A and B are shown apart, each in its own frame.
Chain A
Amino acid sequence: MNELVIKNLCVKDRELSADAAYKGEFEYILKDINISINRGDSLSILGPSGCGKTTLLRTIAGLQNPYSGEIFFRQKNMADVPTHKRNFGMMFQDFALFPHKNVFQNISFGLEMKKLSKKEIALRVQEMLELVNLEQYGKRDIRELSGGERQRVALARTLAPSPDLIMLDEPLGALDKQLRERLLDDLRFILNRSISKIAKTEKIKSNLNQIEVNNAITTIWVTHDHNEAFAVSDIVCVMSSGKVEQIDSTENLRNRPANRVVADFLGL
């Protein structure tokens, strides 16, 4: 079943100068993107910086409007659905933790927006804190946290409201190399565990069978590091200058890169 389908998506530059806007000159940031992934897939979007990866994520999230093309999620056209009603999760490159709220309040934000009861929120936040090994950190101020801790809080915050689609925008990008390597494994582990956890709650709601549900959460991981991409996902989408160069399984990509650009970027 196709979970997310992106059809002929084009996005044009809106960060334009007054002059360019006046003349009607627009630059394409994304050109004719076609992607379709199944429920439970883990997709990596790989490409050099400035190739439009983040814009693609933002467009899927509804933070940016497409110029043309359509995005379907579970057969529903997303064009008319505002961002806050999509029930997606996104972990930002700079984590975007709320500086005026503590760790607990950051994680509980999405749950409050869903109007959960205080008891449910407290339970869920505790569960999330345990998941990312920050049990004692609830009352900490965001400013007191180290880079790695912030990343974990951001992850917990993204997972807490049980989103239908999880997007991670260079989740390790802001960290130094040693920390990246250590946290990459952690992140994979947490994601897998949380997915099964979210799935369990999902199971009660839906009457789907266990196996299907276990792989229910689709993740999109944006990175410019091919090692990271290969390590975390089943399918990799290689992009350069606003276009999809190749979208394939990690194996196929390694063995049969579609063109020179892909091969170069993968370091083959």
Chain B
Amino acid sequence: MSLKNIILERDKYLIPLIVGFIPFLFLMLFYFYPLAGIFIRSFFDQNNFTLQGILSFNLLNFLKIFKSSRILSIIWFTFWQASLSTILTLIVALPCSYVMGTFEFKGKKLIMTLATLPFVLPTIVVAASFQIIPSLIQDMALLLLNSQVVNLLLGDILKNSLLDNQFLNVFKNEYPIVMIFFAHVFYNFSVVLRITSSFWSSFSKDMKEAASILGASSFQIFFKVTLPLLRPAIFASAMLVFIFCFSSFGVVLILGGPSFSTIEVEIYRQAAHLFNLPVASTLSLSQILFTFGMMLLYTRMQKKIAMFTPESEKFSLKKPCSAIEKLLVSLSILFILLLCGLPMVALLLKSIYYKGTLSLIFYRELFLNSSGSIFYVSPVVAISNSLIFASITLIMALIVGGCAAILIKQCSYKDQNLGININSRINRKLTIKKYISSLQILFGKMLEPIFMLPLSTSAVTLGFGMIITLDKPPLNLRTSLFLIPIIHTLVAFPFVVRAVLPALKSIPLSLKEAASIMGASPFRVWLHIELPIIARALSIGAVFAFTVSLGEFGAALFAARPEFTTMPITIYKLLGQPGIMNYGQAMAMSSILMLVTSIGFIFIESIRQFGHEGF
């Protein structure tokens, strides 16, 4: 074998090794290591992490905190609010998804995009917009009650009694919990809508017609055919909603006030306010275990869905004909407009409404440093921080996610896996290679779930883990500019993998072989064939990473030092400060964040190739 060939042979191993090394190192260092830190701290006494300490390990240490009635009530609240939110979301979304999955009408894509918009909005924006709704309702009610018409109709006495009998105050006192549910429904509506409606539309008409010919009434068809078929999709989407609500952070923290707390919020409070790391660790660990379990169940469910879904969608869609059908369609359009559009419009209006007039004063104020305090971080700094972090996240997520996708592809690709070359002239290497190839195939199957793991871990937990583990040299990230982008990359890169992998897999082997036969070296094959084909998917991943980073709240709140304050943190702080100016600025900044995220999302929707809906 010539020297050149030996180098070539080595390169075949070297390039995949480097490509595979990047995402692995990243996961090891910034995911598994911090999680291990949480694990250790929840089982062992913090100061006693010696051999003796390890030996004295007992489960009681771990279970100790569950004796606290406060913690128990928090866990109970987390469960029941997540369950109720899920049920409410299903009740609201399923009728709409029936309409969306049955009828085809003009502007449907627009409505679906609008319905999905809340899901991609930053939690802080959702929380901010729901915080203003009660006051908006109150304002409107007062306006109504003070108007002449009401005066005439009800008379002064009745009006005064209405104002007095605390009708509004009752609402005001109860609204935190009501608003949490509203926000959760708003946020997760599209999850159920998209998963079930795309599944609903995939039923062919034949199936229902066959049932009808066999003597089933339309009532029976629904309960015996449609519903059983739909069940996995409903369960899967419900599970996803449950996971999201279970680990809800920003919404509960802001809307719930001090009286309501999920496990996620409690982790933050215990760690950041009370410095009670063992309790925070134990809670984190329990939460991780629980969400892992749920995610596992979800992926099982998802496989079931995938099994059922026929390839040809949209065939069973029809135009609404009868008056009832038209009414149904218009009602659900109206409902979606109200549910998804109203909070966003309210937020925008609040941001430009100042003392009875429309004004851009809040936006202007964002760019002025009116306070002389040295602790004051101007909103402009926050905006630039956010942009810098989002850009770093974008680059890192593309590198890590892209490499991970290539690695998964390589390993699932038995033919060319890492260039295994079974040639008689290198016989002595054959046995080793045989082992490598068999290991590789097993390994390839594990890879995808491994790279999806960060998705099932909450950002607060990630931030917490990183702060407690990566705080000493050589890797001290506590004060580093990169801490926040790294956490954001952990959250964002699985999305890049999800976007890029199908595109990579869709490239037929013959395409690359054809290029190779025509004289393209492996690098040029990559440059001219693979890269242009996955460019679209890469750009989707890039936009996703960017918007995720812009809007991420939990981890940033946990880990960001004052000088690295981001936009969501600033909104949170502004919301917590008294005065109309602060409040208005929070609205203004939320609006900016909302607009940027919406534009990003609309961009993704418009360049997505196929009508492949779902998550």
Contacts and interface: CB of A to CB of B under 8 A. Distances in A.
A80 interface: yes
A191 to B, nearest CB: 17
B516 A84 contact: yes
A83 B438 contact: no
Given A83-B516, A96-B511, A18 B441 contact: yes
Contacts of B420: 14
B2 interface: yes
Contacts of A93: 510
A87 B519 contact: yes
Contacts of A86: 517
Contact of A18 (B438, B508, B515): B438
B388 interface: no
Interface stretch (B110-118, B520-528, B596-604): B520-528
B423 interface: yes
B4 A96 contact: no
B373 interface: no
Nearest to A22: B438
A87 B519 CA distance: 7
B415 A88 contact: no
Contact of B423 (A65, A88, A110): A65
Contacts of A82: 8, 521
Contact of B438 (A21, A84, A87): A21
Contacts of A84: 516-522, 524-525
A37 to B, nearest CB: 19
Given A14-B415, A21-B434, A83 B424 contact: no
B69 interface: no
Nearest to A63: B513
Given A85-B519, A161-B519, A65 B421 contact: yes
| Most chain B CB within a 10 A radius of its CB, from A26, A98, A114, A157 | A98
Contacts of A94: 508, 510
Contacts of A79: 423, 425
A61 B520 CA distance: 13
Contacts of A109: 515, 518, 520, 528
Contact of A66 (B423, B431, B524, B532): B423
A21 B441 contact: yes
A96 B519 contact: no
A113 interface: yes
Given A12-B422, A15-B415, A80-B1, A61 B528 contact: no
Contact of A96 (B425, B431, B435, B513): B513
Contacts of A90: 513-514, 517
A134 to B, nearest CB: 18
B597 to A, nearest CB: 29
Contacts of A22: 434-435, 438
A267 interface: no
B5 interface: yes
A64 B130 CA distance: 61
A16 interface: yes
A96 B518 contact: no
A157 B415 contact: no
A89 interface: yes
B69 to A, nearest CB: 52
B422 A110 contact: no
A113 B524 CA distance: 9
Contacts of A18: 438, 441-442
Contacts of B519: 84-85, 87, 110, 113-114, 161
Contact of A92 (B1, B435, B514): B514
Given A84-B520, A96-B508, A67 B514 contact: no
A96 B434 contact: no
A93 B414 CA distance: 21
Contacts of B2: 80
A15 B414 contact: yes
B387 interface: no
A24 B423 CA distance: 14
22 contacts: A15-B415, A61-B513, A66-B423, A68-B424, A79-B423, A79-B425, A82-B8, A84-B521, A84-B524, A84-B525, A90-B514, A90-B517, A92-B513, A94-B510, A96-B513, A98-B511, A98-B514, A98-B529, A110-B518, A110-B519, A113-B519, A114-B519
Interface of A: 12, 14-19, 21-22, 24, 26, 58, 61, 63, 65-68, 79-80, 82-90, 92-94, 96, 98-100, 109-110, 113-114, 157, 161
Sorted nearest first, the 4 A-B pairs with minimum C-beta distance are: A110-B518, A113-B519, A96-B510, A96-B514
Given A79-B425, A84-B520, 16 more contacts: A18-B441, A21-B437, A22-B434, A61-B513, A63-B513, A65-B422, A65-B423, A67-B423, A82-B521, A90-B517, A92-B513, A92-B514, A94-B510, A98-B529, A109-B515, A157-B514
